[in-house]
Structure 1
């Protein structure tokens, strides 16, 4: 699969042309599907909706319809911006491409993105860390500001710095990784813990346990273990507790609720993929993670059985939802399944899904759409955070 991806993607598309168009620019500012919710009115309505779906449902729906149907191409009132996760994923794509091609231009470009991340870390914390990069009304009573770092976003940068070390054997960014450990240790909060398991916060305060946040932290600590061998016993104990939380919260059918301690949570595709990817990559770093193969197999079977729309050839957004959505299919979900299927060497799924993604979401080598709405129309053109970069990352692996 990898040789096919690196040389020729089919359908007239060339892998290196896509990478160079989207990943090698010095300015990666981009529009985003969340643009309307980043406006002052958007933050207000989203926060209101989180507090009262009944009262705010109408205004939230009106804004969604305006964004999807009237303003999606024009983007009036929206501004492009840089996102740490875009830089981190671009760096990872370029590092993977350099690793397969040995063309120095990809390494040089990756280093530019890594340097950007060093300069644009969240400020005021114990170590290097990164977040969404915009103000976000995330759930009832909680609004993250644009500087807030997250346990779900920091690992993308951390992984990119670690990849650079693995590929080049240079210690150029070791200080960033070591500093990042201080953020995890000092700024993130333990939300629940018993003798066997632990859940850590999403942001730098006591918010709520999120399944994928714990899985990201599991993976992050498996990276830290390489840089702090003297802390092996301590780190392994925490890793085991994070892993046990994930094991405990996996349902009998293989699924995870997004917020496993809440009564009205949802089960969605791309977060499910992220949990499985993080468990797989943590196991790969550690060499052994008890029963991880069974957990991954069960979760992967759930994905294929509950999200895949056979007639369409794509994976849908939710198997259990708690709100209305105007999105029929999302590139993010399918990009994450593609990356996961390649990790698990499921070539049948990877090859058929990759071809279908190109047919549905990619209109030219300079036009990638991130969603198909309920009317069957492609929307959110070239929005890098969600989800051009996750898609390009899946192609690069």
Structure 2
């Protein structure tokens, strides 16, 4: 990437940080339409009685497609642990890159927030969503710890611990690992294969990225804390992910026979987890799965212009053309796998160029979606301002480290 692009990333990051200072650390969310009693009730009805429920959710979907700012009438602004974790990682990366105390202090600030927003009622640290999440299997109550959130928080504490070596952060990481190992349940598929639950109450599992997240967290913790039992749990989940890969290299969202869609950012979640595990362990199975998965990803999850598209196998009619979350995870994955696929490197460069040219608003925040008509300009920390900020910090850190090594 040219130095001009590096300067553009610098500028974009500083504009975003100015926006974050002014806007604050709470926001509406992708799920705001369905987090309150009206939207949540309509969504629950849709799952119980699809025909009647379709009539109930239709006005909400219309608002999502054409009046995104209507979120504010359905639910309140909130703080999201997954966003705070991404902001902590972002500022930690900037602190390591620049040595500036202010960035380190900001990263620590988000860790302090995360210590206060852990899921209540558990011996060990876990994190989830601050709203009741209506799903096809029921309602996940506010604060239910999720294995798709806790690993990001674990990484955030790890990133700051790498800077200052504080035992306090290590203690939280250990507690989060204990939560992942003991509070999240497994469903055994075979002697060497098990699928992880999405939360402590999910005994069925089947969601691919949930097992991938847990496998990465526990392998990382096994190496950090010398725990072979973590490693054994992780390997069974990892084997599930590897066996769930389709012959074409893709992963369905779940193996439950219902949620068999293939989308952009969940594919990135799985590939990212495998890439991190491979970097930690040199796992040959991960290497092969990454190669097949990347080949599928670059061929099927980008549009004719080489830009991220939401689905290669969609579950329903979509009301948008492109998603900020997809751009964020495309960049994250691209940095992890740089140099391994020329096609992926090209896709990432195209995504970065389009992002910097078209997605950042004058106030410094990023557009959330490119809709069928116009844009969704509602800034949502979890969807995906924080993830995008982290991806650009990660990209900048990688590029500057590359310059230093050259």
TM-score (norm 1): 0.92
Residue 374 of structure 1, aligned match among 348, 372, 375 = 372
For 1:165-314, list aligned pairs within 5 A: 165-205=161-201, 206-229=203-226, 231-232=227-228, 234-286=229-281, 288-311=282-305, 313-314=306-307
The separation in 1 between residues aligned to 2:298 and 2:93, in whole angstroms, is 27
How many aligned residue pairs are there?
388
How far off its partner does 1:223 sit? 2.0
**SS of residue matched to 1:385:** helix
Superposed CA deviations along residues 77-128 of structure 1, whole A, max 9, x for unmatched, are 4321100011100001101111111111000000000011011100011300
The separation in 2 between residues aligned to 1:202 and 1:71, in whole angstroms, is 29
Residue pair 2:80, 2:130 contacting (<8 A) in 1 also: yes
The separation in 1 between residues aligned to 2:211 and 2:259, in whole angstroms, is 19
The separation in 2 between residues aligned to 1:347 and 1:243, in whole angstroms, is 26
The separation in 2 between residues aligned to 1:214 and 1:131, in whole angstroms, is 16
Residue pair 1:367, 1:381 contacting (<8 A) in 2 also: no
**SS of residue matched to 2:69:** coil
The separation in 1 between residues aligned to 2:383 and 2:23, in whole angstroms, is 19
Residues 5/240 of structure 1: CA separation in 2 closer, same or farther (3 Å cut):
farther
Residues 102/264 of structure 1: CA separation in 2 closer, same or farther (3 Å cut):
closer
The separation in 1 between residues aligned to 2:385 and 2:253, in whole angstroms, is 23
The separation in 2 between residues aligned to 1:87 and 1:202, in whole angstroms, is 20
The separation in 2 between residues aligned to 1:357 and 1:6, in whole angstroms, is 14
The separation in 1 between residues aligned to 2:248 and 2:33, in whole angstroms, is 36
Residues 260/9 of structure 1: CA separation in 2 closer, same or farther (3 Å cut):
same
**Gaps (5+ residues) in structure 1?**
none
Residues 270/264 of structure 1: CA separation in 2 closer, same or farther (3 Å cut):
closer
Residue pair 2:18, 2:364 contacting (<8 A) in 1 also: no
Superposed CA deviations along residues 320-346 of structure 1, whole A, max 9, x for unmatched, are 122222121111112111111121115
The separation in 1 between residues aligned to 2:253 and 2:259, in whole angstroms, is 10
Superposed CA deviations along residues 20-67 of structure 1, whole A, max 9, x for unmatched, are 533x67941011121111110111111122233333122212211124
For 1:1-397, list aligned pairs within 5 A: 1=1, 7-9=7-9, 13-22=11-20, 27-70=24-67, 72=69, 75-140=72-137, 142-205=138-201, 206-229=203-226, 231-232=227-228, 234-286=229-281, 288-311=282-305, 313-345=306-338, 346-375=344-373, 377-397=374-394
How far off its partner does 1:293 sit? 1.7
**Gaps (5+ residues) in structure 2?**
339-343, 395-406
Moved more, 335-344 or 85-94: 335-344
**SS of residue matched to 2:370:** strand
The separation in 2 between residues aligned to 1:83 and 1:246, in whole angstroms, is 27
Residues 5/195 of structure 1: CA separation in 2 closer, same or farther (3 Å cut):
farther
**SS of residue matched to 2:284:** coil
**SS of residue matched to 2:40:** helix
Q: CA RMSD of the aligned region, Å?
A: 2.1
Residues 282/167 of structure 1: CA separation in 2 closer, same or farther (3 Å cut):
farther
**SS of residue matched to 1:329:** strand
Residues 14/359 of structure 1: CA separation in 2 closer, same or farther (3 Å cut):
closer
